[in-house]
Structure formats: structure tokens, C-alpha cells
Amino acid sequence: MHKNRLVMTKLLEIQRAIHRSLVAGDSESAAAHIVADGLAPGARLNIYRNTFIGGLTNALRLSFPAIHRLVGPAFFESAARMFIEAQPPRTAYLDEYGGAFPEFLEHFPPAATLPYLPPVATLEWAINRALHAADVKALDLSRLAIIDPADHGRITFTPHPSVRLVHAQYPVDVIWRAVLAQDDATLAGIDPDAGPVWLLVQRIASEIDVIRIDEPAWHFAFELCASHSLQTAIDNAPEVDTTVLLAEHLAAGRFVDFSFADQTLTANVSELPA
């Protein structure tokens, strides 16, 4: 048992040394554990490190193609390398890697002159998550038809996994489309200050739909997708025809299930003294 513990401790030390070598470029502590076999340990580690960085950079490029085209390969690779060093992946599923990249760009000094860059990245990440979301059947509307009207206000919806809501201060949807279409004329004519925009992202069949809606409608959708009760969502959206909007969401398959809010419990909690 003691011998096994020593072996496990040694293995953990080696794993940590290799991790430091791959992520931070610290090859000294790992080199002692590498057999040269015709190639210096440092050079051997650099091969793994370059493969590691290159694979993650490519994963980020696939998730953020518009950002890559906006800033060019050199800028993107430099930003990606710094992001990887600061936030290496925690799982082997690289489709989920990059969620913090928009926030990283927001604080990346070379991107300071491109304030629309982080929100474009936010939209691209929403599109990426919609693209890789689980394929779930839309809510069977006949289930809603049999609900007692007295319980309608207590309904809370479960959004489709592909549905995302994005708010940005810049016209990121127009920028995103123009960049990917390589439409230089449209891109040159975009006013960066033409925002804000309120967007709904959804996967339809094998395509991603990015819809621009007005602010009140966006907030109503946000309430519903946050699984707030239908009555709460209606009460918080006095400026819009919630009946029409709800019908549009249901027809578009943006919900997959529903449950009922416990209004009695909510009322009791709200009545507790501060």
C-alpha cells in the first residue's frame, strides 16, 4: 500500500510538471522525467506544447470565425495563446472551450481600439452553443390545451437547449453576417454606434437563426427562458402583446417542456418580514 502511494504521488508530480510545460511553457521541471532517446527533453516537450496550443487555437478559431477574420491570423493566434495560458481547458470536449473568450477580449489591451470585438464574440459563442446544443423535441402544444385556465399564470417553460438571448451595444448581428459573407461593402458602411441590438439565437433544423427583436419583446423572452412564471413574465412586459409573442415562441418550438410555479410558496416568502 505504501509503495502504491509513492507511485501515485510520483505520477501526480509528473502530470503537474507536464501540465506546467504545456500551459505555461515551464519545461525545466518536466524535462527530468523525459527520456531523450535521440531528442532533447526540452525539444520533445516543445512538440507536445505546440500541438497542444495549436489544437486549442484551432478550436477557438472554429468557434469564433468572425473574430478571426476581423483581426487576422497573427492577432488572433496571439490572443488565443494568452487566453489558453490564462484559462486552459478543464475537459476534453473542445466544443465547450472558449466561453470566457469574449470577456478575455474585453480586457485584452490590443483589442481596446475595437470595442465591438467582445460583443461580436459573445454572439459567436451563443451561436456555437446553439449549434452544439442537444437535439430535443419541441413542446407538444396539445399538453397546454388541457390545462385549466386558472393555472395558466403558474406555467413555467423550459427553453430549447439551442435558444440563446444576446444583448449588445453594437450591431453585432450585421457585423457578424458581413464578415462571414466577406461583404466588404456592407462592412465598410456599418455604423458601430448603431446599437443597441436585442437578439434571439435558435437552431432550426441544421441552421442557426439570429433574429433581431425589440427590447420589450426580448425581456419577455428572457423572463420565459429564465423559467419565471407566465404571469410574472406578462406582468413585467406591459408594453407588448404577450399573447402574440407567446404564440410565436410556441410555434417556433422554443420550449421543450413546462411545469407549474408554486405561487403559494412564493407569496409566503414575499410576506416574510425583512
Tens of pLDDT, residue by residue over 126-167, are 999 999 999 999 999 999 999 999 999 999 999 999 999 999
To the nearest whole percent, how much of the chain has pLDDT over 70?
Answer: 78
Query: What pLDDT is stored for residue 187 in this prediction?
Result: 92
Domain count, the chain: 2
Give the mean model confidence (pLDDT) for residues 25-53.
64
Same domain, 190 and 254: yes
Best mean pLDDT range from 22-31, 201-210, 232-241: 232-241
User: Residue 119 falls within a domain, yes or no?
Assistant: no
Residue 231 lies in a domain: yes
- Calculate mean pLDDT across residues 169-189: 95
In a domain, 44, yes or no: yes
Range of the domain at 15: 1-114
Q: What is the pLDDT of residues 62-95, one digit of tens each?
A: 999 999 999 999 999 999 999 998 999 988 888 8
> Per-residue pLDDT for 1 more than 80?
no
| pLDDT in the model for residue 71 | 97
For residue 170, pLDDT beyond 50: yes
Q: State the pLDDT confidence band at 46, using cuts at 50, 70 and 90.
A: low
74 occurs within a structural domain? yes
Asked if residue 166 and residue 93 are part of one domain, the reply reads no
193 has a pLDDT exceeding 80: yes
Whether 133 maps to a domain, the answer reads no
Domain membership of residue 169 (yes or no) is yes
Residues 81 and 13 in one domain: yes
- The model's pTM is 0.82
Does residue 132 belong to any structural domain of this protein? no
Q: Check whether residue 256 and residue 172 sit in a common domain.
A: yes
**HEC profile of the chain:** CHHHHHHHHHHHHHHHHHHHHHHHCCCHHHHCCCCCCCCCHHHHHHHHHHHHHHHHHHHHHHHCHHHHHHHCHHHHHHHHHHHHHHCCCCCCCHHHCCCCHHHHHHCCHHHCCCCCHHHHHHHHHHHHHHHCCCCCCCCCCHHHHCCCHHHHHHEEEEECCCCEEEEECCCHHHHHHHHHCCCHHHHHCCCCCCCCEEEEEEEECCEEEEEEECHHHHHHHHHHHCCCCHHHHHHCCCCCCHHHHHHHHHHCCCEEEEEECCHHHHHHHHCCCC
Mean pLDDT of all residues in the chain? 86
Q: Please indicate, yes or no, whether residues 180 and 265 belong to a single structural domain of this protein.
A: yes
Query: Is residue 4 over pLDDT 60?
Result: no
Please indicate, yes or no, whether residues 104 and 193 belong to a single structural domain of this protein: no
Tell me if 122 is assigned to some domain.
no
Looking at the fold, whether 35 and 90 belong to one and the same domain comes out as yes
144 shares a domain with 259: yes
Instruction: State whether 172 and 86 are in the same domain.
Output: no
Same domain, 147 and 87: no
